Copies of this chain bind each other. A is one copy, B any other.
């Protein structure tokens, strides 16, 4: 009937690499969802949900915190004017660049030590 396949929590966890507990946590924190439920109350994840979870994971791996991601979600969902969105996104981007710079400094130190001991 419905052409859209849905995924169980276990399958979703498997596909995204995010644990079921963490998926529920993200949903509670408003980072994903709200996820649709079956009549019995079980979660049904869509492919769209999976994609969004991938985005969240991407930013988590980049070191963004839950609060940051909540802001991100709010900006992409709400009716903020486009220029607000762009400003927000550019601000986040600048923060990531700072992190890259910090990593670069640390790597430079490591390179010096490596050169010293080689």
- A107–B90 Cα distance when bound, in Å, is 10
4 new A-B contacts, CB < 8 A, other than A82-B117, A89-B113, are A63-B102, A93-B114, A96-B110, A97-B107
A51 to chain B minimum Cβ distance, whole angstroms, is 12
- A86–B30 Cα distance when bound, in Å, is 44
| A58 touching B97 in the complex, CB below 8 Å, given contacts A76-B113, A114-B86 | no
Chain B residues lying within 8 Å of A73, measured Cβ to Cβ, are: none
Interface residue total, chain A, C-beta cutoff 8 A: 32
A residues at B contact (CB < 8 Å): 55, 58-59, 61-64, 76, 82, 85-86, 89-90, 92-93, 96-97, 99-100, 102-107, 109-111, 113-114, 117-118
**Judging by beta carbons under 8 Å apart, are A62 and B105 in contact?**
yes
